[in-house]
Chain A
Amino acid sequence: MLGEGILKGLAETARNFFGSYVSKDRLTTIQFPEERAPRIEASRNFPFLVYDGTDPMAGLRCVSCLICEKECPPKCIFIEKSTDKKPDAVGKPQFYPSKFNIDISVCMSCQICVEVCPFDAIKMDNAPSPTSTTTRSIPPKPPT
Chain B
Amino acid sequence: MTTATLPPSATLTSQSGDSDTQLLEVSMGPQHPSTHGVFRMDVALDGEHVVKLKPIFGYLHRNHEKIAENETYLGSMPYTDRLDYFCSITNNWAYALAVETLAGIVVPERAEYLRVITGELTRLQNHASLVGFLMQDMGASGTPLMYAFREREKILDLFETLTGARMMCNYMRFGGCRCDLPEGWLAQAKQVVDAFPRFLDEFERLLSGNEILMARTQGVGVLSKELAINAGVTGPMLRACGVNYDLRKVDKYGIYDRFNFRVPLGEHGDVYDRYMIRLLEMRESVSILQQAMRDLPEGPFTDPKTKVRNFRPKPGEAYGRIEAPKGELGFYLISDGTPNPYRYRVRPPSLINLTILEDMCLGQNIADVVIILGSVDIVMGEVDR
Contact = CB atoms under 8 A, between A and B. Distances in A.
Interface of A: 2-6, 8-9, 11-13, 15-16, 25-26, 28, 40-44, 67, 71-73, 108-112, 115-116, 124, 126
Contacts of A42: 160-164, 179, 182
B211 interface: yes
Given A42-B160, A42-B179, A111 B170 contact: yes
Contacts of B79: 73
B124 to A, nearest CB: 15
Given A2-B211, A40-B160, 8 more contacts: A5-B209, A5-B213, A9-B209, A43-B160, A44-B165, A110-B78, A111-B164, A112-B77
A3 B211 contact: yes
Contacts of B71: 73
B205 A73 contact: no
**Among A9, A42, A116, residue most surrounded by chain B Cβ atoms (within 10 Å):** A9
A9 B182 contact: no
Contacts of A116: 308-309
B143 interface: yes
Given A108-B78, A109-B165, A12 B205 contact: yes
Interface in B9-26: none
Interface string B55-84: 000000000000000011011111100000
B270 to A, nearest CB: 18
Nearest 6 interchain pairs by C-beta: A5-B209, A110-B78, A73-B75, A42-B164, A44-B164, A12-B206
A75 B27 CA distance: 38
Interface of B: 71-72, 74-79, 143, 147, 150, 153-154, 160-165, 168, 170, 178-179, 182, 195, 202, 205-214, 308-309
A19 B147 CA distance: 13
A25 B208 CA distance: 23
B72 A71 contact: yes
B150 A28 contact: yes
B214 to A, nearest CB: 8
Contacts of B161: 40, 42
B165 A112 contact: no
B80 to A, nearest CB: 11
Contacts of B210: 5-6, 9
11 contacts: A4-B209, A6-B210, A8-B205, A12-B205, A13-B143, A40-B160, A42-B162, A44-B165, A108-B168, A110-B170, A112-B74
Contacts of B163: 42
A6 B75 contact: no
Nearest to A5: B209
A109 B211 contact: no
A117 B214 CA distance: 56
Contacts of A16: 147, 202
A41 B163 CA distance: 10
Contacts of B179: 42
A28 to B, nearest CB: 6
B74 A71 contact: yes
B118 to A, nearest CB: 14
Contact of B309 (A11, A15, A67, A72): A67
A116 to B, nearest CB: 5
Contacts of A26: 150
Contacts of B143: 13
Contacts of B75: 71-73, 112
Given A12-B202, A43-B160, A108-B78, A5 B182 contact: no
A105 B170 CA distance: 19
Nearest to A1: B211
B209 A8 contact: yes
A40 B64 CA distance: 31
A121 B282 CA distance: 43
A41 B164 CA distance: 8
A115 B174 CA distance: 13
A16 B203 CA distance: 11
A8 B164 CA distance: 40
A71 B79 CA distance: 14
Given A9-B207, A73-B76, A73-B78, A115 B308 contact: yes
A71 B309 contact: yes
A96 to B, nearest CB: 22
Contacts of B76: 73
